[in-house]
Amino acid sequence: MPSEPLSMLLYKLFLFCYPKIAKLLGFFNPKAKQWTIGQEGVWNEIEANQIKLQGHPIIWLHAASYGEFEQGLPIIEAIKIKYPQYKIWVTFFSPSGYLHRKDDPNVDAVTYLPFDGPKNAANFLNKVNPKLIVFIKYEFWFNYLSEAKARKIPSILASAIFRKDQIFFKWYGGFYKNMLSLFSSILVQDHEIYDLVAPILTKTRLFISGDTRFDRVMHTSSTSQPIEWMHLLDGHKNIIAGSTWKEDDAILFKTTAHFNQFNWIIVPHHVDEKNIDACKRTYPSAITLTQLLNSNQKQTRPIVLIIDCIGLLRNIYQYAFISYVGGGFGKDGVHNVLEPAAFGKPVIWGYNDAKFKEAIGLRNQKGGYRIKNEAEFVMHVNELIQTTSHYDKICTNARNYIQINAGATQKTMKEIMIQLEKS
């Protein structure tokens, strides 16, 4: 059929063009520049880690970016307990994952994934020699998967998510349909996805496992530690806005005027100097966490506090009266609504959540609200602060949603055990 050669040609064209386009974009885009730099040095880094892990059996886990690594972390931790003799080698496609997790203590090696191609795939598998491969959520690299299948290295796609508008389900997507069959097993998040994928799979094991992020946020909420500097904000309830972009901040700033009895804690998605400066211009009366810590003065009045360092967000949510999760007013969509929900906090986010099943599930469970504008934000906050019983019900719904959907890690580990026994 002509559709298969066409889709394969498009894939090869993508592989040819992407590095060249990224290099050009690197003159204007820091993320593209970081990716290009990472690819230029990737083999030296791989060889250094190969020497470090020589003689140990290896499980290779690949995550596109930071968020996918968070999904993979419960699996990594479970592997470490069940198979302590194995070393975990993690690869990233995106700089945002690699740069934040390259020194992660939970894993034994972290590198970029060399860009897909027959030579790169063969060379990488020669050096790493994994006993098992785990891809997280939605990464599909043809040459790596086909090379692994040829070598009879089992590969699992974990916490997988698919949508009916994707190329796998188009008349011209034959090449991509076949790519799915290269996995030894695919573990999807729910029945709807299972029903979508099942008709195009014949040889690949297909299971419903759920989403390991629920396990991750449950663990975070149950093991969270107190944040020492929070006592400087005692006496006022907090509205905590995490992973915010400029579109979120524009609405948040207007909303602060309606609720100046609260501390507003703003955690930007990017905390580099440029973005923090932009955030400070949006909230002209705000202070940064660095300024608060330097003064070490207890705040007697509610303030707007901008968090200007990384790694604090998931713990800060425990102090929220109401939480807001950013991204929903941008083209990429809402960020992780599960983190505050795990603490039993009402969650509010912007309208772009159509591709995020966890956000849709949370609002269907009535544990959070999707908003379109400032007026809806104000309305829902008023609902939450005016009736204690309503507030308590939303909190319970949010927490229950997390607990009901936990357990994916255990199901994933069962399949990992089966595949390791085969290898």
pLDDT(86) > 90 = yes
| pLDDT tens per residue, range 362-382 | 999 999 999 999 999 999 999
Contact (CB, 8 A) for 415 and 205: yes
Higher pLDDT, 271 or 61: 61
Fold equal for 3-210+407-422 and 225-404: yes
pLDDT of residue 5: 65
CATH node for 3-210+407-422: 3.40.50.11720
Which pTM value belongs to this model? Answer: 0.90
Count of residues in the chain: 423
pLDDT of residue 3: 47
Instruction: Give the residue extent of every domain in the chain.
Output: 3-210+407-422, 225-404
Q: What percent of the chain has pLDDT over 70?
A: 99
CATH node for 225-404: 3.40.50.2000
User: Residue 209's CB: how many other CB atoms inside 10 A?
Assistant: 25
| pLDDT tens per residue, range 225-261 | 999 999 999 789 999 999 999 999 999 999 999 999 9
Model confidence band, residue 266 (pLDDT cutoffs 50, 70, 90): very high
